[in-house]
Amino acid sequence: MKKYIIIFFGILTLYSCSDKFDITQFDQYIGNINIGGDTLYIQNGEPWSGFNNPRAILMGKEPFIYVCDTDNNRIVMLDIAGQLHGALSIKRPIAIAQDYHLNLYVCAEFDTANVTYSALYKINLFAAGHQIENATVTRILPLRDSDFNLQRKYTAVTVFYDNSIYVARTGPNNSSISNPDNSIFKLAPKKLNAGGDILVPLDKDTLTIGRVPFIDPLNRGLISANGINSMTSFNKRNIDFIATLAGESSFKAQWFYFYSSGIEERYYSKFDPSTDPVAFVKPNRFQAPTGSCIDPSGNIFIADAGKDSVLKFNASGVEMHSFGGSKFFVEPVGVAFFDKVLYVLDAGKNQIIRFKLSTDTQ
């Protein structure tokens, strides 16, 4: 054991004296230890399995861990030790978020008249005493007859400090200026000043406020709704979020920074590639990102299924300790963070793999 420790610290010293670790070298690993720049990512225990093509993971505020177990048509609820606390049947869940009342919001599907539509659901855990299998499920979207569109899909959801909700929608028809398929919509509690066309769902608890403006549906650059597949808020008193995109774009992970001057309110990119040449906005830095999370220090983790890797950036957009590789992950699609442990959801392996940084094991 002493010999391996010496080897690992030798590698650590070597990489700390060199340039940033090249992501193409990610398949350099020894057993359950993965080398990422000047940090060792050490697997924490055995993987948690029993999933079937899971697509999203969420660290709840309780904290419990929620998994969209997509091909098993259920939401799985685990504690941080991996103990199963229950499951809720729901058709093909693909994205999940939680508000500060501990309600869950899930992008999934439903059938009606032998037709399958995409939907956004609310799951009331509090009223069910956190027995998820007994929780009431309410469909929030679609509501209007015109929204019952087979080609439109709800693909991502996130919640902000004020319990307002953003949900991303995708689809092929994007010529409309006012209502393109590729859009982000805002929903909020009734106590907020909604204005405009208000729609109240069956639980009479949430308002549909409308499309978030000034976000191009097909832009291949920054601030785009071109195929958003995940959104992550910062758990701060702002409405910034990280989005990952599946559409054609040179920037497949983006930081949407909300700017308000009193005259103008809109989203901009947190970083400008022309003036902030940081790795986060380096063109084509990501290949197929599908999920993200943010730790208490503001570090951003991106699961990139195309690179079989997890990429880490600090709050300044500088790349830190990315790691992974085809010998370690098959298809990492989601990440979550709690108490210095990183949880990686691997759809290819149908597992959750946990990691501690070497700096947190001393």
Q: DSSP characters for 7-72?
A: HHHHHHHHHHTSSPPPGGGTT-EETTEEEETTEEEEE-SSPB---SS--EEEE-SSS-EEEEEGGG
Question: Do the beta carbons of residue 245 and residue 306 sit within 8 Å?
Answer: no
- Quick one: pLDDT at residue 160? 97
* pLDDT band of 36, cuts 50, 70, 90: low
Output the CA–CA distances (angstroms, integers) from residue 296 to 24, 170, 301, 315, 361, in the order listed: 28, 31, 12, 11, 18
- Quick one: pLDDT at residue 27? 38
Helices (DSSP H) in 31-188: which residue ranges?
none
* pLDDT band of 298, cuts 50, 70, 90: very high
Average pLDDT of the chain? 86
pLDDT digits (tens, 9 = 90+) for 88-147: 999 999 999 999 999 999 999 999 888 999 999 999 999 999 999 999 999 999 977 778
* Residue 31: both structure tokens together: 């057993």
CATH of the domain at 85: 2.120.10.30
* pLDDT band of 360, cuts 50, 70, 90: low
Output the CA–CA distances (angstroms, integers) from residue 279 to 82, 219, 283, 297, in the order listed: 34, 20, 9, 18
List, in sequence order, every residue forming a beta bridge with 242; answer none if it has no partner. 232, 255
Output the CA–CA distances (angstroms, integers) from residue 306 to 17, 161, 329, in the order listed: 29, 32, 11
Question: What are the backbone dihedrals phi and psi of residue 89, each rounded to the nearest 5 degrees, phi first?
Answer: -75, 130
Bridge-based pairing of strands 33-36 and 29-30 is antiparallel
Q: Dihedral angle at the C-alpha atoms of 166, 172, 176, 177, nearest 10 degrees?
A: 50
Q: How many domains, the chain?
A: 1
Lowest mean per-residue pLDDT among 202-216, 263-277, 299-313: 202-216
- Quick one: pLDDT at residue 357? 73
Please give the residue range of the domain that contains residue 92: 2-360
Instruction: Report CA torsion sign: 207, 106, 336, 183.
Output: negative
* pLDDT higher than 70, residue 200: no
Instruction: Give this prediction's pTM.
Output: 0.87
Give percent above pLDDT 70 in the chain.
Answer: 83
Question: Do the beta carbons of residue 186 and residue 193 sit within 8 Å?
Answer: no
CA proximity to 155, closest of 135, 171, 170 = 170
